Structures are given as C-alpha cells and as structure tokens.
Chain A
Amino acid sequence: MNRTRIPQLALALLAALPLAAAAAGVSDGVVKVGVLTDMTGAYSDLAGPGSVAAAQMAAEDFGGKVLGKPIVVISADHQNKADVASNVARRWFDQEQVDVVADLVSSSTALAVMPVAAQKKRITLLSGPGSDPITGDKCTAYNVHYTYDTYSLAHGTGSAVVQQGGKSWFFITADYVFGRTLEEDTASVVKSSGGKVLGAVRAPFPTADFSSYLLQAQSSGAQIVGLANAGADTVNSIKQAHEFGITPKQSLAGLLVFISDIHSLGLEASQGLYLTTAFYWDHDEESRKWAQRFFARTKKMPTMVHAGVYSEITHYLKAVQAAGTDDADAVMKKMKETPVNDFFARNGHIGADGLHRHDMYLARVKAPKDSKKPWDYYQILKTIPPEQAFPALAGSKCPLVKK
C-alpha cells in the first residue's frame, strides 16, 4: 500500500466512526440510567430512595450488562424544583453520558426535563408524575409516561365507584391546578356514569385542619366524599374524617393515594377508602415475589411508582437488547412496538403519544380485622382494562399522533 494514503484512510475512518456508533452498539461503552427524584421532600416516601432501589434491582436482575456493556445506575435529588431538575439533566446528558432519566416525580420537574432530553435525543421514563399534558400537548418523541396519569385516577375511581353504588358525590378539593383538574375530571366522569355531584369545597393548599370542610361534606349527605388532593392533605383529611364519624356512614374516595399514605395512616383511620392504583404488591404470585425482594432491600412495600420504575427500566433494557443499540430513536421504536406484560403491567402498550396504557385496579382499604399480615391493606374490587382506564390515542392532543 502506498504510505502516503494511510493518513487519508485514517481520516476517512475517523469521520465514519460517530456514524457507525450511532447505528449499532452502545455509545461510550456504558448504558447509564439516571434516577432523578425527590429524595427528602413531600414525595420522598412514594418515590425517592425506593425508586433508586427499584432501578438498581432492575439493573442487577438484567445481569448488570446489556449488549456486553455495563449498566450503571446513578441518582440525584431534584427537590421538586423544575430548574434543579433540568440543570441536573443537562449535566447528566452533556458530561456524564446518561442515556435515560427515570422517575421524575412531580409534574413540573417532568415537564422541565422532557424538552431537554428530546433536544439531546435521550429518553425520559416517567413513573412518579401524573399530569395529563405530559402525553397531551407537551408530549415529546423520547418520553414514556409509564405508571399512571390523572385521567386514569379520575376515571378509575369516578366511574367504578358509581358502578359500585356510590351515586352522590361531594368533593374536598385542594385549591390549585392539580386539585381542580382532578375534581373537574372526576365530576364529569361521575355525571356521565349516572351519578350526581352535590357540591364541592376548595381548601387552600396546604391545609392541616379539615374539620370545617368535613362538616360541610357531612351535611351535604353525599354517599361519597371525593378527596381531590394529595400527600399530607389527603392523609390529614382521611384521619379527620374518621375522627368526625364521616366514615363509615359516608365513604371516602381518594383520587391520588399511595400505599405509603395508607401505611402511615393505619387501617383504623383509612378503612373503606376507595382508590385507583396501578399496582398492588399482594395482587398475585409474581407481584408478591418482586415486592418481597423490594421489601428485603428497603424495609417497605413498594408503591406503584417504585414498581413502575423497575418495570420501565426493564422494558427499556429489553428494548436496547432487541434493538442492538442504545440509540434513542431505535430504542423508542422498539419500546413502542413491544407490548408490556410483567409483574407490574398487564396488557401494557406504549402509544405514539408516549402514554403507557395498561390495566389499572380499583381498590378498597381493608378494615383492621380483615388484614391478616403486615401491609395487607387493599382489597382489589375490579380490574380496569386499558381502554377504560386511559384516554384513547385517537383523541390525543399530542402533535405526534397522526390523525
């Protein structure tokens, strides 16, 4: 070979290299999962350290390697602040080779990170947040909204409770966008299912003492008191409803309740509460097996957010395996093509809008005498199939959905 041609050849090879890397194999020799969540704040029990543990379990169960390259899980605290979340994500993408960001509990952080990820062609897998615009007008091509959304909560609890005989409703609503949206969504479902709404009261956010609002709910005579709030507000309203003797005469319907809330409240105060959940640890053999491993690690049973983080990361890793690359476009295509059926999701399918539609469950909190073992909290009343639990893809406001 003519020696003078070697530099030219080397140059040509160098130029071709990035292209080749994008087309096949794992970029920069590692698949890095970043769990970005609330480690100490209001959502740290329902997501937080438990989500990080779930992600680590997913990586270990996959064998620690995909396509022969190591899977690395890192985590950071976004403090429920949108600016902190997007700054961390930017650093992860630009300097730390993070391929996928998981969890992002609280919608504001999710909505802040999604466009950054889309711009850099990295994937976001949301388990913690619930806001509908995530897969509506704010949707991106590199996002999966995995565990639940406010639509599924409102529709699950709203229509299923009316079918169970809870015809008349009164709402106690947290007076901000999340609470009001949840109330409006649920009220319209209640009405279209043949129930009626007798009234609503909007409590400032946050509120510690719900007695005034509970008295108003009590005197309304409604069968069902809908709690369109979350976190500490829900916990205090359930506890005080029990104190004021609202339950068991009237029933409570929690529109966003996690098993961590029930655990901290205790069954005495929370018994009889209706709720919709994407996951219950004691649902079947598979879910029990996984949940007990999670428990051994964290000393808590998993919330639906924790189970969702494990399942979404596993689904992602399988897609990387199947696609033979960690290139975001190829992996997203695989993830959307492949149905999800595991201990967490049944009949799951990810739509063009990024929404993961799967079975949801209507549950009722057990009375203390019916609870036979630790964390034996829910009775599953009904499985809600994906087409009833989630909005139809055809009606999506997401611009990616071809009409």
Chain B
Amino acid sequence: MTQALFGQLLVGLINGSFYALLSLGLAIIFGLLDVVNFAHGAQYMLGAYLAWMGLTWLGIGYWVALFAAPAAVGLLGMAVERLLLRRLRGLDNLYGLLLTFGLALVVEGLFRQGFGISGNGYPVPPQLAGAKNLGFMVLPIYRAWAVAVSLAVCFASWLVIEKTRLGSYLRAGTENPQVLQAFGVNVPLMFTVTYGFGAALAAFAGVVAAPVYQVTPTMGSQVIIVVFAVVVIGGMGSILGAIVTGLGLGLLEGLAKFFWPEVSATVVFVAMALVLLVRPAGLFGRQK
C-alpha cells in the first residue's frame, strides 16, 4: 500500500514537472506582454509535430528536434507577435485572447485536415528506451529524463528572469514600458523576443511529450485547460507560481488517481476554485 502510494506520488511529480514546463511559457507571456496566449496549446502541438515530421520525412532524430523544433516555433511566434499581436497592444487583453484562440483553431484545423485525427506515434529515443524497476514501481527511463529536463529548463528560465540584467529589463518592461524605452531599451523588440521565447517553451514541451503521448492535432487543446488552471492558481504572470503550482497540482492529481480515480480530472479545478475564493490573485500573484 505505501509502496504503491510512493509510486503514484512519483508519477504525480513527473506530470507536475510537465505542467510546470507548459505553464511557464504561458506565465512569462502574460507577465510581460499582458497577453492571454490561447495559442499555447497549438504551439505545443506544433513542437511535437515538427519533431515527428523531422524524424519521419527527413530522418532528423530526437536530440536535434529538441532544439530545432522550439527554434522554428519561436520564430513563428515572433512573426505572430510582430504582425498581429502588436496591433492589439493597449487594447483590452480580451482581444489578444480572441486572436490567439482563433489562431489555435485555424492551426488545429489545418493539422486535422492534413494528418487525420488519430495522429502519429513518435518512438522513444533509443538512448532513453526501457524501464527501471525501482522496487516500488517501474520507472520508464524516458520519464526520468523528462522530469530532469523540464525542471532544468524551468529553473534556468526563472534564473534568467529573476537574477540577470536582461531579466531585470523584462521585469521593468512589464511595470512601465514608456520609462524603460526612455532609458534607451528597444521595448517592442523585447516583447517580440519574449513572445517567441514563450512559444519556443511550449514547443519544447511538445517535443518532450511526443514519445509519451500520441502526437495528434488535438493534443494541445486537451492539455491547455489544465495548464491555464495552473497559471491561474499560481497567480497570472508569476513565474515561480507557475512552477510551484505545476508540481503541486501534479502531486495532488497523483493522489487523487490513487484514492479516488473518478475525480482526478476534476480535482485541479476544485483546487482552483478554492484558491480563488481565498486569494483571488492566485497563490503567488500580486493584487493590482
């Protein structure tokens, strides 16, 4: 019983680190650009599909895809920011939400048309294949890698934003872009790059997810709702909040799957409702 529970907690941690990685990009984009990026799920799906296309059509393996797919989606994200999202700056952030939501629907529809609904399988890279028996559970080696790389990327992003000079510009840009621009910083460029980075993070998560989940056109819209819940609980725009909440919700979900599997899909939203009742700005959010 305790052994099984320990296994479930570890699985929860694995899923949690994945939630954290996905919510991170969303939190960064909201924090700096004030855009509710509903295209995040589509960008995640694009990352997974680019990895699959690279492998199937060009023979490009997992390790290259891990960098190439996020770079490509990042560039695409920058184009979207430069050509579309920028025009909405200063308007209510509902407009940004609608634009990104629309983009997500278009991209998902195109992939449905092109690849069908059942999607495609992406194999686990041979270096990470197999599973290890830990005594209390069998741990696939790929999952251990997924946790490690997700947490490393989360920590690195947090470090850059909270502890470096570049990060301080970014944070200043959220507070008061006009003043920052007066100091000679190219704020519009900074926003473009930030959106691109957020999109690249989503695509990175997509590549990491590809060997675990079936690569399908709808994989993004399935996960985006939980990820939004994570960001809302953590406090919209709080990077630390996204990471901590992602892990916490993964654990909570893991416990639910063990004790009461039927409610495991709901428990995240119950937690969200409770948190919002007590702290309307989220756990780590600031009241504006």
Give chain A's interface residues, CB within 8 Å of chain B.
40-46, 175, 201-204, 206-209, 211-213, 215-216, 218-219, 232, 235-236, 239-240, 243-245, 260-261, 263-266, 268-269
Tell me which residues from 105 to 164 in chain B have a Cβ below 8 Å from any Cβ of chain A: 109, 112-113, 116-121, 123-124, 130-131, 137-138, 140, 142-143
Query: Which among B4, B7, B117, B213 has the highest number of chain A CB atoms within 10 Å?
Result: B117
B93 within 8 A of A: no
Which residues from chain B contact A43 at a C-beta distance below 8 Å? 117
Which residues from chain B contact A219 at a C-beta distance below 8 Å? 4, 7
Cα A130 to Cα B44 with chains together (Å): 34
Whether the Cβ atoms of A268 and B123 lie closer than 8 Å is: yes
Q: A212-B11, A244-B138 are in contact. Are A263 and B118 (CB under 8 A)?
A: yes
Whether the Cβ atoms of B254 and A264 lie closer than 8 Å is: no
Cα A218 to Cα B7 with chains together (Å): 12
Tell me which residues from 138 to 193 in chain B have a Cβ below 8 Å from any Cβ of chain A: 138, 140, 142-143
Whether the Cβ atoms of A204 and B118 lie closer than 8 Å is: no
In the complex, identify which listed stretch (B35-43, B215-223, B230-238, B241-249) lies at the interface while the others stay far away.
Answer: B215-223
Whether the Cβ atoms of A243 and B131 lie closer than 8 Å is: yes
A318 CB to closest chain B CB (Å) equals 32
B143 CB to closest chain A CB (Å) equals 8
Cα A40 to Cα B118 with chains together (Å): 11
Whether the Cβ atoms of B219 and A208 lie closer than 8 Å is: yes
Find B140's partner among A202, A203, A243, A265 (CB 8 Å cutoff): A243
Cα A218 to Cα B11 with chains together (Å): 14
Which residues from chain B contact A216 at a C-beta distance below 8 Å? 4, 258
A217 CB to closest chain B CB (Å) equals 11
Which residues from chain B contact A211 at a C-beta distance below 8 Å? 11, 14-15, 143
Q: A42-B117, A209-B15 are in contact. Are A239 and B261 (CB under 8 A)?
A: no
Task: Identify 9 residue pairs between A and B in the complex whose beta-carbon atoms are under 8 Å apart, listed by A's number.
Answer: A42-B117, A203-B264, A204-B262, A204-B265, A215-B11, A245-B131, A245-B138, A245-B140, A268-B121
Which residues from chain B contact A41 at a C-beta distance below 8 Å? 117
Whether the Cβ atoms of B213 and A264 lie closer than 8 Å is: no
Q: A211-B14, A212-B11 are in contact. Are A235 and B4 (CB under 8 A)?
A: no
Whether the Cβ atoms of B123 and A265 lie closer than 8 Å is: no
Whether the Cβ atoms of B213 and A208 lie closer than 8 Å is: yes
Cα A261 to Cα B264 with chains together (Å): 26
Contact with A along B3-26 (1 / 0, CB 8 A): 010011001101100000000000
B257 within 8 A of A: yes
Q: A216-B4, A218-B138 are in contact. Are A265 and B11 (CB under 8 A)?
A: no
B64 within 8 A of A: no
Q: Which residue of B lies closest to A204 (CB)?
A: B265
Which residues from chain A contact B211 at a C-beta distance below 8 Å? 243
Cα A43 to Cα B117 with chains together (Å): 8
Which residues from chain A contact B123 at a C-beta distance below 8 Å? 266, 268
Cα A269 to Cα B129 with chains together (Å): 12
Whether the Cβ atoms of A243 and B142 lie closer than 8 Å is: yes
Q: A208-B219, A212-B261, A266-B123 are in contact. Are A235 and B131 (CB under 8 A)?
A: no
Find B121's partner among A207, A232, A239 (CB 8 Å cutoff): A239
Which residues from chain B contact A215 at a C-beta distance below 8 Å? 4, 7-8, 11, 137-138
Whether the Cβ atoms of B121 and A269 lie closer than 8 Å is: yes
A160 CB to closest chain B CB (Å) equals 25
Query: Which among A215, A218, A265 has the highest number of chain B CB atoms within 10 Å?
Result: A215
Which residues from chain B contact A269 at a C-beta distance below 8 Å? 121
A39 CB to closest chain B CB (Å) equals 10
Which residues from chain A contact B121 at a C-beta distance below 8 Å? 239, 264-266, 268-269
A347 CB to closest chain B CB (Å) equals 31
Whether the Cβ atoms of A212 and B254 lie closer than 8 Å is: yes
Cα A243 to Cα B265 with chains together (Å): 22
Q: A175-B262, A268-B123 are in contact. Are A44 and B214 (CB under 8 A)?
A: no
Whether the Cβ atoms of B212 and A240 lie closer than 8 Å is: yes
Sort A-B residue pairs by CB-CB distance and give the 7 closest, nearest first.
Answer: A204-B265, A212-B257, A264-B118, A245-B131, A266-B121, A45-B118, A243-B140
